């Protein structure tokens, strides 16, 4: 009987990509995926610590897993991602003694080595065969989608820049994901090719500061060059990238988005705050005026592009007046979407070491609601222009009785259709607009749905 694995993932798209990669490696060793942790032989938690809330959820999950381990001492437990960081120093081992193996973000090797050692200890398991498979899994880079994802993956995340060297004062990521390093174009193109051969039709290129892609190369080769090369893949329909940093949004990059048809007119450029004192304390490296100019440059080249942003409210010392600058900037710029967070103090960051977390949670919540309302009003208005328009949608999943997909500018669209349309590119007429999604009808197929590859054998309860 095959062994079963279960991976639990929270946090960013990078974690989703890492979990997919790990699942694929485990399946190459003969493991089958199960969605039920209580019937797994191996459970992995891929964690996020960007805010306290995410960390708390991971700790909650660990408690649940500790109960499973008590019932089944043979259960193997892995902890991965930003909770672990680049090197586990023994601190987590002490706190969670039932965890067998710790993996830094994007690094599955510790688990592979652990499984190889286990095989050596256990004479019943065909150690040699398994170890060979493990060596292959480490070197593989075949990017086979895990069986359960083979039937459903229209969009796949592909990391292109790992780590981050920017050190914004609020952010824990550089401490947990290590220094910034770009993957080679060859590696990325190979991964994209493997993914599209398995049905994937849209690729999201990922980096903490994705527009710094290639800054660490000897030869000049940047994100615009990469977009062009990735677009050369004939099976691929769409490309997106995130997250941008305002300081690296070059005209060359914006023009590449305009000129390469497969690249979607969709930018993710976090502003974080609209006040220069707060931006300075955050060490973001730009002023509100600089940010305005970036948005103006994007709109001059691509007037209809979606521009999304991230905002943190309640950063240490942020006065009400300073906060209102953020509010005013958002109102002025009419950005499409705001990923909004209340400041959460994170261990070892510059802010945690030097600035008291002095805004009460009720006040943070009040500011959050004000921005949220503003953002909703803007997006409601901006979405109105789609009423009765024809939009192009890539169908990415089914939600109850409706298909769900996105426009090139990342608007979520729902529509009813009896046909099997997963992966299809369709034109739709918008019948209703709202802040969070558009409703549409009359699908006209531009590119037929993909034929999902049937998984051979899947472990389900
Ligand atoms: N690298 C990107 C995004 C990193 S994390 C950037 O340069 O902006 C994603 C988002 O989480 C951030 O944009 C920020 O808005 C939020 N975030 C990061 N650290 C946070 C903290 N300590 N408290 C609250 N939100 C935080």
Residue nearest to atom 1 of ligand 1 (CA): 208
- DSSP calls for 97-113: TT--EEE-TT--HHHHH
Nearest CA owner, ligand 1 atom 13: 310
pLDDT-above-70 percentage for the chain: 95
% of the chain at pLDDT higher than 90: 87
How far apart are the CA of 340 and the centre of ligand 1, in A?
Answer: 9
Average pLDDT over the chain, rounded to an integer: 94
CB atoms under 10 Å from CB of 365, counted, come to 13
Write the DSSP symbol of residue 158.
Answer: E
| CA atoms 91, 96, 98, 101: torsion sign | negative
Confidence of residue 452 (pLDDT cuts 50, 70, 90): low
Residues in the chain: 461
Looking up tokens 């990521």 gives 173
Contact (Cβ atoms closer than 8 angstroms) between residue 31 and residue 69: no
Q: Say how far apart CA 304 and CA 355 lie, in whole Å.
A: 39
Which residue's C-alpha comes closest to atom 4 of ligand 1?
A: 208
Long-range contacts of 85-90 (CB under 8 A, 24+ apart): 85/175, 85/176, 86/176, 86/177, 86/178
| CB of 308 shorter than 6 A to ligand 1 | no
Q: How far is the CA of 13 from the centre of ligand 1 (A)?
A: 13
**pTM tops 0.85:** yes
**Is the pLDDT confidence value at 461 over 50?**
no
CA distances (Å), 220 to each of 192, 215, 226, 265, 391, in order? 22, 8, 11, 24, 37
- Cβ of 270 closer than 6 Å to ligand 1, yes or no, is yes
C-alpha 231 to ligand 1 mean position (Å)? 29
How do residues 155-212 score in pLDDT, each as one tens digit? 999 999 999 999 899 999 999 999 999 999 999 999 999 999 999 999 999 999 999 9
Asked if pLDDT for residue 56 goes beyond 80, the answer is: yes
Atom of ligand 1 nearest to the CA of 311: 15
The pLDDT of residue 200 is: 96
Give pLDDT tens digits for 353-383: 999 999 999 999 999 999 999 999 999 999 9
* DSSP-based three-state secondary structure for 69: helix
Binning pLDDT at 50, 70 and 90, where does residue 255 land? Answer: very high
Task: Determine whether the shortest distance from the Cβ of 170 to ligand 1 is under 6 A.
Answer: yes
Tokens of 430: 């918008």
- Largest Cα–Cα distance in the chain? 68
Cα separation, 442 vs 428, whole angstroms:
6
Query: pLDDT tens digits, residue range 267-287?
Result: 999 999 999 999 999 999 999
Q: Give first-to-last CA distance, the chain, whole Å.
A: 15
Q: How far apart are CA 115 and CA 47, in angstroms?
A: 21
Domains and CATH numbers, the chain: 4-139 (3.40.50.12160), 150-245 (3.30.750.210), 265-385 (3.30.750.200), 387-447 (2.40.50.140)
State the closest ligand 1 atom to the C-alpha of 172, by its place in the atom list counted from 1. 19
pLDDT at 456: 52
pLDDT given at position 133: 76
Q: Which two tokens stand for residue 365?
A: 């919540």
Which atom from ligand 1 is nearest to the alpha carbon of 351?
A: 22
| 138 confidence band (pLDDT: 50, 70, 90) | confident
How far is the centre of ligand 1, averaged over its atoms, from the C-alpha of 50 (Å)?
Answer: 7
């Amino acid at each position: 009987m095959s062994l079963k694995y279960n991976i639990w993932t929270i946090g960013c798209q990078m974690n989703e990509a890492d979990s997919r990669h790990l699942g694929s490696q485990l399946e190459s060793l003969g493991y089958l995926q199960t969605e039920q942790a209580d019937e797994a032989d191996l459970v992995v938690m891929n964690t996020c610590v960007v805010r306290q809330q995410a960390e708390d959820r991971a700790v909650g999950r660990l408690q649940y897993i500790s109960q499973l381990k008590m019932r089944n001492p043979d259960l193997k437990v892995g902890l991965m991602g930003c909770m672990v960081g680049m090197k586990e120093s023994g601190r987590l081992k002490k706190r969670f003694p039932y965890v067998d193996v710790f993996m830094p973000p994007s690094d599955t090797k510790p688990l592979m080595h652990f499984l190889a050692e286990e095989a050596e200890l256990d004479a019943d398991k065909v150690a040699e065969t398994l170890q060979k498979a493990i060596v292959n899994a480490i070197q593989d880079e075949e990017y086979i989608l895990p069986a359960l994802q083979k039937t459903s993956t229209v969009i796949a995340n592909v990391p292109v820049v790992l780590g981050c060297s920017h050190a914004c004062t609020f952010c824990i990521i550089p401490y947990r994901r290590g220094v910034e390093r770009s993957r080679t174009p060859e590696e990325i193109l190979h991964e994209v090719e493997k993914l599209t051969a398995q049905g994937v039709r849209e690729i999201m290129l990922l980096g903490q500061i994705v527009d710094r892609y290639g800054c660490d190369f000897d030869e000049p080769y940047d994100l615009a060059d990469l977009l062009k090369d990735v677009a050369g893949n004939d099976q691929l329909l769409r490309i997106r990238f995130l997250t941008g940093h305002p300081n690296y949004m070059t005209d060359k990059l914006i023009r590449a988005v305009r000129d390469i048809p497969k690249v979607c007119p969709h930018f993710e450029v976090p502003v974080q705050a609209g006040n220069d004192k707060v931006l300075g304390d955050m060490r973001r490296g730009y002023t509100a005026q600089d940010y305005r100019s970036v948005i103006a440059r994007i709109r001059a080249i691509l007037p209809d592009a979606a521009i999304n942003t991230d905002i943190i409210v309640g950063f240490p010392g942020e006065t009400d007046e300073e906060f209102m600058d953020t509010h005013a900037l958002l109102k002025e710029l009419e950005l499409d979407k705001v990923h909004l967070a209340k400041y959460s103090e994170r261990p070892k960051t510059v802010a945690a070491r030097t600035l008291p977390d002095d805004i009460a949670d009720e006040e943070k919540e009040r500011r959050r609601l004000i921005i949220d309302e503003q953002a909703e009003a803007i997006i409601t208005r901006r979405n109105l222009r789609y009423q009765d328009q024809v939009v192009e949608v890539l169908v990415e999943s089914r939600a109850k009785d409706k298909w769900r997909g996105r426009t090139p500018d990342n608007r979520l669209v729902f529509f009813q259709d009896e046909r099997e349309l997963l992966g299809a590119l369709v034109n739709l007429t918008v019948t209703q607009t709202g802040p969070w999604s558009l409703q549409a009808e009359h699908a006209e197929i531009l590119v037929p749905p993909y034929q999902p590859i049937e998984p051979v054998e899947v472990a389900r309860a």
